[in-house]
């Protein structure tokens, strides 16, 4: 105890006490958070204008582009309101999340997909869903960071090809691989590079991480600012298989609803057609 009475010992012990005190105070004041993750970030919901109570209109899209604007359009629609709908919920989950159960339960009022895919999930799908609006697939080409690509084994021999992890995607996986197979081009496993998203695929190509990708003809002009890069695309063009909007049997009972859906989606036609030469074709009588 004499240690505390020496000037040096007093300071040391005092400092120690203050440190312990600060540590204790800090421990008591330490806060932690317990945040939860949102269920997903690929769903957008809007409330139908003036609606008090009613059902939720569920739409499943394949991509995020225009989804939110489309849903907002529907929410503003009088006809949607009259159809007794309170909310419009649009989502763009990854394709593997679509299950047979969801189709059989008619979980979605509208699904944007391809027939073979839905049929592959559930053989009975035709009794639950029917196509109402078809959208032709857009056209893509092979892009190469260098001279114009040709579909020969020699050309592809020492080059890397980029695709996405989404093996259900026609645009960024199936069509590229199919085009190579059709041209009898075999790639070594190391030549195939996978990317998590279409955006990263595009960026990877622009960075030079891969030599070749398939993309629409507006690869560079879509980007703002337009990068100053020398790239060339193949003369040959491939058209991706088109998709259809499918309506559930339950929804088909309401003609007004279907027609309103088609009309609101058709708003985007001029945009699609000028950019990608897409066409909409309705198989439903409005």
Partner 1 sequence: MSLFFPQKITLGYKALMNAKLVKLTQRPAFIICLLSLILAVTAVLPRVSSQLSFEQFANNNLSTIINQSLESGFNDTDIFSYLTDQLETTYQRIETESVLPIIKSCSMQIIDWKVNQELPISSISATTVTWKEGALQHQLLFELDCHYNLLNWFIFFILCSTLSLLVFSFWPTPYSHRQQQWLLQTSNTLNRSQQIEFNKFIDALTSPQYQWLETHITKKQWQTSALLNCIKHNNFRLLDSEQLFWLDIAFSQSDNLDDAITIAKHDDNLIFGLKEKVIFVHGLKIKLPITPFFYYYWYASKRLQDQHQGWLLNPASTKPDRQLGEELAKLMSEYGGSTRAINDLLENGLTPKKLDQNRNRIKDELISLLGETHAETYLFSSKRDLKTTRFSYRLTIDGQKVSFT
42 contacts partner 1 (rule: CB under 8 A): yes
* Closest residue by Cα to residue 272 from 115, 77, 139: 139
Rg, Å, the chain Cα set = 28
179 contacts partner 1 (rule: CB under 8 A): no
The least CB distance from residue 5 to partner 1, in Å, is 5
230 contacts partner 1 (rule: CB under 8 A): no
Residue 130 φ/ψ, nearest 5 degrees: -135, 145
* Closest residue by Cα to residue 201 from 171, 230, 231: 171
| Region from 10-18, 46-54, 176-184, 238-246 binding partner 1, contact rule CB under 8 A | 10-18
Number of residues that bind partner 1 (CB under 8 A): 59
Cβ neighbourhood burial of 199 (10 Å; 0-12, 13-18, 19+): exposed
Identify the residue among 15, 65, 249, 281 touching partner 1 (CB under 8 A).
65
93 contacts partner 1 (rule: CB under 8 A): yes
63 contacts partner 1 (rule: CB under 8 A): yes
* CB-nearer residue toward partner 1: 69 or 191: 69
* CB-nearer residue toward partner 1: 216 or 244: 216
The least CB distance from residue 17 to partner 1, in Å, is 7
- The length of the chain in residues reads 286
Interatomic CA distance for residues 131 and 244, integer angstroms: 6
Interatomic CA distance for residues 2 and 168, integer angstroms: 79
* CB-nearer residue toward partner 1: 83 or 206: 206
Identify the residue among 15, 94, 186, 266 touching partner 1 (CB under 8 A).
94
Neighbours of 77 (CB within 10 A): 20
16 contacts partner 1 (rule: CB under 8 A): no
User: Do the Cβ atoms of 174 and 207 come closer than 8 Å?
Assistant: no
Sequence-distant (6+) residues with CB within 8 A of 77 are 48, 49, 260, 264
Interatomic CA distance for residues 14 and 155, integer angstroms: 77
Identify the residue among 92, 128, 143, 155 touching partner 1 (CB under 8 A).
92
209 contacts partner 1 (rule: CB under 8 A): yes
* CB-nearer residue toward partner 1: 9 or 120: 9
Which positions from 147 through 166 interact with partner 1, judged by CB under 8 A? 164-166
* CB-nearer residue toward partner 1: 107 or 209: 209
* CB-nearer residue toward partner 1: 146 or 227: 227
What's the CA angle centered on 92, arms 90 and 98, to 5 degrees?
105
CA dihedral 270, 244, 108, 118 (to 10 degrees): -160
Query: Where does this chain bind partner 1 (CB under 8 A)?
Result: 4-7, 9-11, 14, 17-18, 21-22, 25-38, 40-42, 44, 61-66, 68-69, 92-94, 164-166, 171, 195-204, 207, 209, 222-223
């Amino acid at each position: 105890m004499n240690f505390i009475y020496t000037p040096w010992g007093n300071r040391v012990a005092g400092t120690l006490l203050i440190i312990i005190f600060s540590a204790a105070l800090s421990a008591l004041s330490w806060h932690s958070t317990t945040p939860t993750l949102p269920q997903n970030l690929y769903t957008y919901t809007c409330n139908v204008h003036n609606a008090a109570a009613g059902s939720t209109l569920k739409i499943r899209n394949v991509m995020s582009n225009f989804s939110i604007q489309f849903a907002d359009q529907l929410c503003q629609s009088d006809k949607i309101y009259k159809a007794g709908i309170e909310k419009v919920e649009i989502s763009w989950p990854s394709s593997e999340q679509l299950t047979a159960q969801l189709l059989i339960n008619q979980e979605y009022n509208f699904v944007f997909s391809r027939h073979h895919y839905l049929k592959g999930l559930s053989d009975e799908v035709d009794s639950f869903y029917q196509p109402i609006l078809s959208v032709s697939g857009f056209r893509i080409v092979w892009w190469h960071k260098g001279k114009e690509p040709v579909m020969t084994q020699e050309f592809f021999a020492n080059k890397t090809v980029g695709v996405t992890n989404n093996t259900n995607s026609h645009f960024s996986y199936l069509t590229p691989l199919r085009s190579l197979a059709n041209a009898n081009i075999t790639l070594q496993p190391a030549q195939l590079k996978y990317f998590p998203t279409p955006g990263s695929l595009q960026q990877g190509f622009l960075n030079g991480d891969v030599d070749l990708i398939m993309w629409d003809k507006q690869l560079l002009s879509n980007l703002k600012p337009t990068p100053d890069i020398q790239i060339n695309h193949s003369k040959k063009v491939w058209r991706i298989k088109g998709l259809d909007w499918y309506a559930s049997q339950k929804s088909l009972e309401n003609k007004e609803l279907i027609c309103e859906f088609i009309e609101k989606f058709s708003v985007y036609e001029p945009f699609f057609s000028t950019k990608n030469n897409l066409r909409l074709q309705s198989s439903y009588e409005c």
